[in-house]
Structure 1
């Protein structure tokens, strides 16, 4: 089981949205806060990233550069830091298409970008997300992160040369790019002594996480997990806590309840069926664990939950998740 892909799949709230952005100086675009992560890839030309609240320290971006804003916060792009801003408002030729278009004409230099967003749910976000910096900036360094560079090159080719099939290729590349970005960030942080980047790359702890994600319904014990990865129980338990920040069975419960919460939103399966899917022998045991973790009974949650990123008893839900966000 690929833990990184599994965690992202549990957080997704929809397909990525993106817009081919053709602009000529002078231009400035203001991007609103979104529920997910914002990203920008410069294909041709250059621009400045203007983060909210830090306008004194803009970042210049060049062809092949990429930025990802973890919290989808308000920000701006412009040809120069002082250029007046207009709202980013892509036009969709097809309302069902995840690709839009933005064009701003002017007398100056041309810039081509792909600007977009990954739609991710904030509630019960995987703890890996909390460790990401607010802005991930990946310059177009030759030889670094070849997978990501290849994806960006392919995106650039599709945007520069419109050909049949592009409407299917671009969204798929954008979707894959998020995993490439997270890989690149992990590679740049693999020397850290603790944290999720190190946990996923660690043979023992990463192997235990993969085992949990592969079979969350199994009645795992710390001894089972340590034997799976070939470590003594005490050594494994200490290593897991040091890297992940919580004991193995605490993470197992958290992941089980994350699966259950998502299933309650998207399925009508009886609670006893759902209980067995996440490793509980009875509906009662499952309901008790769910309420302890999320602050509300699963039946009540299913009845009250709305198709949004909020949930009932928000204070108790946030409190139950505070162990991951500090």
Structure 2
């Protein structure tokens, strides 16, 4: 797998959920903070998004038809038909009640939104995902991100839930939407560590090799050979861009993979150790405990009590 796919797969839990919201006239609804990532797709009409919370440093975002917005850190926010003063904010309808309270009225300009969430495990977020801003706004622009636009169009056709196979197609399209949103952000980002990391051919080659086979017996010399540079050049460029040396990144990623397998599966610890590049369950347990402060068995037990449905 590539770095972006791995970064998303390691943090995503379960299947995404979504709701269709149709409103008109004067309306305002609040979405509380949550453990995950939220998204909105404007299917028709337009609205405003107002980030809330102590970490919010941006102003209102104007959304139009075809716009997509990702809130990767689960920030609370308000959706409204337009500018909102303090009095209207105080009366914002909780999103869970919006569809019942904010009904569409004939003759009013209708706004239709697809609103949803991805469940995320924030205990081991890849730095690529951690770097995403609080709000990622991807305006609809002709010729920009055609794959994202295509996903939005496909989603719009599946929302009624009456087409054969829609119960399988919709969550699959939502997963695809997350990949396309992250990819589009990386293309649009004017600055940022990970767009720069994946724009450097040497670092990208090294990361691709590590992610393709994390269990391989990697050394700095072998990895430098994969990247086609000297060991010193690889160490300098990789450490400067990624923020840690290649072997330190590999150790972190192996343990992240182990934690993901422990979280998502019931495979034996020996299998988890082998897949993560450790020679024995004892070796994995020692490294895991040093990194997480908890044994793999205890980690899995906490998972079972916290997420019995996983």
When normalised by structure 1's length, the TM-score is 0.83
Deviation of 1:56 after TM superposition, in Å, equals: 9.3
Q: 179-188 or 282-291, which moves further after superposition?
A: 282-291
Partners of 1:24 and 1:105 within 8 A in 2: yes
Deviation of 1:166 after TM superposition, in Å, equals: 3.7
Q: Show the counterpart of 1:22.
A: 22
Deviation of 1:157 after TM superposition, in Å, equals: 4.1
Return closer, same or farther for 1:27/1:240 CA change in 2, 3 Å cut-off.
same
2:285 to 259, 284, 287: 287
When normalised by structure 2's length, the TM-score is 0.87
- Structure 1 segments of 4 or more deviating over 6 A? 100-103
* Cα deviation code 1:81-122 (max 9, x no counterpart): 33442111279xxxxxxxx99962236310011011111111
Q: Show the counterpart of 1:104.
A: 103
**Aligned ranges for residues 81-96 of structure 1 at < 5 Å?**
81-82=83-84, 83=88, 84-89=91-96
Deviation of 1:158 after TM superposition, in Å, equals: 4.0
Partners of 1:20 and 1:101 within 8 A in 2: no
**Aligned ranges for residues 151-162 of structure 1 at < 5 Å?**
151-159=151-159
Partners of 1:90 and 1:101 within 8 A in 2: yes
Deviation of 1:265 after TM superposition, in Å, equals: 2.8
1:153 aligns to what SS in structure 2? helix
Structure 1, gaps ≥5 residues long: 92-99, 310-326
Structure 2, gaps ≥5 residues long: none
For these two proteins, the number of residue pairs brought into alignment is 299
Q: Distance in 2 between matches of 1:102 and 1:210?
A: 50
Q: Show the counterpart of 1:78.
A: 80
Q: Show the counterpart of 1:196.
A: 194
Corresponding position: 1:59 with 2:57: no
Corresponding position: 1:237 with 2:244: no
Return closer, same or farther for 1:266/1:158 CA change in 2, 3 Å cut-off.
closer
Cα-Cα RMSD: 2.6
1:69 to 61, 68, 71: 71
